[in-house]
Amino acid sequence: MNLNALIDFTLVAANEGLGKASRASGISKATLSRRIADLEEQLGVRLIERSARGLKLTEAGALLMARAEGPLAEVAEAMAAAKEGVSTPRGRLRVAAPVLFSQLAMGRIGAEFCAVYPDVTIEVIAEDRVVDLVEEQFDVAIRINPSSDSSLVGRCFAKDRLVVVAAPDLPMPAPGAIRSVPGIVVSSFEPTHWTLDDGLVLEPIPRLRFSSFLMIRDAAVAGGGAALIPQSMAWTQLASGELVQWGTVTGKEAELWVLHTSRRLAAPKVRAFVDFMCARYPDLSLTLNG
């Protein structure tokens, strides 16, 4: 049975005529008449008696109207509810994010997002590996300097720089030849030079190795040596004077992107999260602690 024909029959019956039904729906009288005739042909019974005084339901038509009107109204309500459901951010949002960013920022971000969108629940998985959004059922991923991937789209929401910091009582070398300094480095550190934007070149001599930037920063505050860390992690300590910044490492800017699988028909919760992240860092300046 043609559902449109059944809908048009109830429309004509409820409006007690083709003219009123046409004006109410915007469907031409000819189309309404044809669909009702098609429905009568399918059922093998006459549903409406046509006369000079208008239309009148037959016994079969009145019975069909009584049975169909309620369920069709429920279908219309269900379709409206479905449309509202997909236009309003709701449901579980799974986010994959780097460990450090998750530890320092995602707790606050998640709470703020849920306060704005109370029908959304957030699950954040903190991992530094590159997850497969489709296979592992993630809605979005936050990545640092992501490689080009045609299957993902998104926006850069913040930028960070790598800076060399040290406690105030550690003398800063003067520019000139390569200067050796006691260094606090990551566990995977290999011999290298830190070239700063003012031309100073440092050769860190590892004294302490850590697997976390948080430990590296705290060791620098304690006077363990010079450290190369994201600037966003040191703002509080720089402002308080616990650390001083020796300079910014040339060519080491980090971009943070929020990515999802497709721009087309992205779920409202995904669009809302992307917009929220970009609005939270309007000048692209990454403040993890604020």
Mean pLDDT, to the nearest integer, of 7-20? Answer: 83
Mean pLDDT of the residues in the chain: 86
Q: Which of 18, 72, 19, 67 is nearest to 59 (CA)?
A: 67
Cβ neighbours, 10 Å, residue 8: 23
Instruction: Report pLDDT digits (tens) over 155-180.
Output: 999 998 899 999 999 999 988 778 99
Contacts of 38 (CB under 8 A, 6+ apart): 2, 5
Confidence label for 56 from pLDDT (cuts 50, 70 and 90): confident
On whether the 162-248 domain is CATH 3.40.190.290, my answer is yes
Q: Report the Cα 287 to chain-centroid distance in Å.
A: 19
Fold equal for 93-157+265-280 and 162-248:
yes
Query: What does the alpha-carbon distance between residue 3 and residue 111 come to, in Å, rounded to a whole number?
Result: 45
CB atoms within 10 A of CB 288: 19
- Cα(133)–Cα(45) distance, integer angstroms: 55
In degrees, to the nearest 5, what angle opens at C-alpha 250 toward C-alphas 244 and 256?
A: 90
Choose between 136 and 81: higher pLDDT: 136
pLDDT recorded at residue 9? 83
What's the pLDDT at 82? Answer: 60
pLDDT for residue 184: 96
> How many Å apart are CA 147 and CA 149, to the nearest integer?
6
In the CATH hierarchy, which fold is given to the domain comprising 93-157+265-280? D-Maltodextrin-Binding Protein; domain 2 (3.40.190)
Please check the confidence at residue 269 and state whether its pLDDT lies above 70. yes
The domain spans of the chain are 3-87, 93-157+265-280, 162-248
**Domain 3-87, CATH among 1.10.10.10, 1.10.287.130, 2.60.34.10, 3.40.47.10:** 1.10.10.10
- What is the DSSP track for 57-99? E-HHHHHHHHHHHHHHHHHHHHHHHHHHHHHS--EEEEEEE-H
Q: Which residue has the higher pLDDT, 64 or 86?
A: 64
Name the nearest CA neighbour of 161 among 227, 231, 212: 231
Mean pLDDT of 79-95: 74
